[in-house]
Amino acid sequence: MGRLVIVSNRVPVPEKGGIAPAGGLAVALKAALEERGGIWMGWSGKSSGDTDPGPLSLQEQGNITYALTDLTGKDVEEYYFGFANRVLWPLCHYRLDLAEYGRKEMAGYFRVNRFFAHRLAPLLRPDDIIWVHDYHLIPLAAELRQMGIKNRIGFFLHIPWPPADILFTMPVHEEIMRGLAAYDLVGFQTDYDLENFAGCLRREEMGDALGDGRFIANDKVFKGGAYGISIETAAFAEFARKAVSHSTVNKARLSIEDRDLIIGVDRLDYSKGLTQRIDAFERFVVNNPGHQRKVTYLQITPKSRSEVPEYEQMQRTVAEQAGRVNGALGTVDWVPIRYMNRSVSRPVLAGLYRLAKVGLVTPLRDGMNLVAKEYVAAQNPDDPGVLILSRFAGAARELKGALLVNPYDVEGTANSLGRALNMPLDERRERWRRMMDYLLEHDVSRWCDDFMADLKAA
Ligand code: ADQ
């Protein structure tokens, strides 16, 4: 059995002492790496400024080698902040208005992918299987192929894939599509993303779907499929069960008194629909005087990518909006919205999810959304809360027991909040059971195994 080589923009290197990194994805991929032995390569997150990045930093942990490279300041600006986060991210989340195309950034993106390929190639053995992750690294396989690398290479996209009319606004869409066609297997989160991808191939007769998960483009046949990512369901449920005695969770319980808790947990990102969500909560409270003073909405939102101007602006907008609603609706003994800009540990997060009667997950567009799955896994089986989920999250294709909402419809989301808070126990249990059974079967290890099995067979 060949080794597994994972390449992703950032690498969750375990801290000294071998503490496992947080998050199901890191855990699942690490388990797959440990089983086969292998390499996890990516950017160190550091800039070498104007000087060339030094040699790869190699760290051995058991049979896994973590291989990290620095990037120059220009690379970070053009590849990471520029093309990845100001072109591909907004575009794949249907935000044409926020995409800023620039030749320099596009060139930087392809240049850094070539650089990654050149750094990776000397580490490879002929029977290694390579698994590349996410939108930062789409051209990597094409670059490796150019260097004569014949290994099996798979790609998984964590974010949505847009329809042709959106993708084709990007001047280099053909190169990006050709980049994907260079893989042996291309994985998307949902069947909708896969359909969009097939539509993009067909639109300009670049290629086509051949059936049985096979596609053709550039005279090359390759495989494509939908592999919905998931969480470590059983482990997360166990965290939540134990978290009832965690001091931070206890403090939170005391501070909400006997009010109903609604929880939102998202990275600060315009795709997450935070302003529409706060509007919906405000509408709910205004429309339902009986719930006033009886409900608290906790929004936990660590800052992300604050170097990108849109994110800086959004931070101010969301904080001001929450402040305005609290000013308008709050009383001396009731703060309707609590807004936190901090990361919390997995056990505390699990405990807070379990305290909440409603998980409010309303992205405008999301590849999957793991928060929705974590909220379900964390519930008390005897008295579970209700998941309100955007129909535009990939998770809506799987979590059939959720109350699905259109996040652009503020009134509709407000009505769903009322329905969730008044839902009878029997219905809550029935909806939760369906979702939990699904998640126990479709956890992150299954996602990893399914992808790997198809890659080996591709
Ligand atoms: P994200 O956009 O980051 O991921 P999501 O899937 O919700 O979105 O994952 C976020 C993760 O961060 C969750 O595990 C959550 O618990 C954690 N998190 C968020 N806020 C936190 C906080 N304050 N403290 C601690 N942890 C916090 C991208 C795509 C998604 C896709 C994932 C995985 O955008 O659509 O589901 O990758 O493929």
Band of pLDDT at residue 19, cut at 50, 70 and 90: low
Band of pLDDT at residue 304, cut at 50, 70 and 90: confident
pLDDT in tens, 355-373: 999 999 999 999 999 999 9
Query: Does 344 contact ligand 1 (Cβ within 6 A)?
Result: yes
CATH superfamily entry for domain 4-230+444-457? Glycogen Phosphorylase B; (3.40.50.2000)
Band of pLDDT at residue 16, cut at 50, 70 and 90: low
Band of pLDDT at residue 244, cut at 50, 70 and 90: confident
- Long-range contacts, 121-124 (Cβ 8 Å, 24+): 121/147, 121/149, 123/5, 123/39, 123/41, 123/56, 123/65, 123/67, 124/5, 124/149, 124/151
Band of pLDDT at residue 424, cut at 50, 70 and 90: very high
* pLDDT of 190 higher than 90: yes
Task: Give the position, in ligand 1's atom list, of the atom nearest the Cα of 374.
Answer: 16
Which residue ranges does the chain devote to CATH 3.40.50.2000?
Answer: 4-230+444-457, 233-441
* pLDDT of 335 higher than 90: yes
- Where are any strands of DSSP class E within 86-151? 129-133
Fold (topology level) of 233-441: Rossmann fold (3.40.50)
Query: Does 370 contact ligand 1 (Cβ within 6 A)?
Result: yes
Residue 321, SS3 per DSSP: helix
pLDDT in tens, 139-183: 999 999 999 999 999 999 999 999 999 999 999 999 999 999 999
Print burial letters for 183-221: b (CB count within 10 Å at least 16), e (below 16). Answer: bbbbbbbbebbbebbbbbbeeeebbebeeeeebebeeee
* pLDDT of 392 higher than 90: yes
Band of pLDDT at residue 15, cut at 50, 70 and 90: confident
pLDDT in tens, 77-131: 999 999 999 999 999 999 999 999 999 999 999 999 999 999 999 999 999 999 9
* pLDDT of 308 higher than 80: no
Q: How far away, in angstroms, is 158 Cα from ligand 1 center?
A: 11
Q: How far away, in angstroms, is 369 Cα from ligand 1 center?
A: 6
Mean pLDDT across the stretch 316-330? 96
Query: Does 21 contact ligand 1 (Cβ within 6 A)?
Result: no
* pLDDT of 225 higher than 70: yes
DSSP conformation class of 393: B
| Least confident segment among 97-106, 119-128, 298-307, 389-398 | 298-307
Query: Does 368 contact ligand 1 (Cβ within 6 A)?
Result: yes
Query: Does 105 contact ligand 1 (Cβ within 6 A)?
Result: no
Q: How far away, in angstroms, is 123 Cα from ligand 1 center?
A: 31
Q: Are 394 and 369 in contact (CB under 8 A)?
A: yes
Beta bridge partners of 297: 262, 337
Distances (CA, A) of 383 to 151, 354, 363, 423: 50, 10, 26, 11
* pLDDT of 305 higher than 80: no
Query: Does 200 contact ligand 1 (Cβ within 6 A)?
Result: no
| Least confident segment among 249-253, 301-305, 413-417 | 301-305
Q: Which protein residue has the closest C-alpha to ligand 1 atom 24?
A: 343
Active site residue 366: yes
Percent of the chain with pLDDT over 90: 85
Q: What is the DSSP string of 346-363?
A: HHHHHHHHHH-SEEEE--
Q: Are 313 and 273 in contact (CB under 8 A)?
A: no
pLDDT for res 256:
87
Distances (CA, A) of 43 to 33, 71, 115: 18, 7, 11
State which amino acid sits at residue 400. Answer: K
From the candidates 133, 158, 173, 442, give the one annotated as an active-site residue. 158
pLDDT for res 14:
83
- How high is the mean pLDDT of the chain? 94
Residue found by looking up tokens 């539509």 in the block: 199
pLDDT for res 181:
96
Task: Give the position, in ligand 1's atom list, of the atom nearest the Cα of 361.
Answer: 7
pLDDT for res 17:
60
Active site residue 191: no
Query: Does 396 contact ligand 1 (Cβ within 6 A)?
Result: no
* pLDDT of 252 higher than 80: yes
* pLDDT of 28 higher than 70: yes
pLDDT for res 22:
61
